[in-house]
Amino acid sequence: MSPDTDPSAPLPLDAANRKFNHGFPALLGFEFLEWREGRAVLGLQVTDRHLNLAGLIHGGVLATLLDVAGACAGTFCPYPDRVRKAITLSMTTTFTGQSGKGYIRAIGTKRAGGSRIFNSTVDVYDAQERLLIIGEGTFRLRSGSEDVRGQPMTTPSDRAPRSP
């Protein structure tokens, strides 16, 4: 079923991953495992580049997954070449476990929201289903992202450079 007939249908994973294949998200290397209205599930294969000096997943990696999964839970756009954007207003994190290399999952769920502001909760688990971090965020939709149809997708290289 196409988004024109069912905008609540999950976005095909290849289309979801294309939306985040540039900039910092591409550097981190996560992938979408699921993305639909009110829910985003991200996966990440943790390698040496994601570890701190103790050999554990760096807290910044976990916080970034929390931020992205929480924002994506409230910005689902079923149209492959369009995107909705949000900025993080606040985010709280509680680190509950430690893990090294392996596969981790971040599960973001939109809990509440109005026309521009929404709240999400996120849990991140390791491959043994141990909870690594819990958090919640408050996000604001960027202008043009209020509608599920979003905006045409662009990357930073598509935009004109700003003058100094």
CB 14 within 8 A of CB 34: no
Query: Which domain does 28 fall in, by range?
Result: 13-154
Q: What is the domain-level CATH number for residue 126?
A: 3.10.129.10
Task: List the chain pLDDT tens, one digit each, 164 residues.
Answer: 344 546 666 677 887 787 777 788 888 899 999 999 999 999 999 999 999 999 999 999 999 999 999 999 999 988 888 889 999 999 999 999 999 999 999 999 999 998 899 999 999 999 999 999 999 999 999 998 888 888 888 765 555 555 55
In a domain, residue 130? The reply is yes
Q: Are strands 82-83 and 151-152 parallel, antiparallel or unpaired?
A: antiparallel
In a domain, residue 115? The reply is yes
In a domain, residue 159? The reply is no
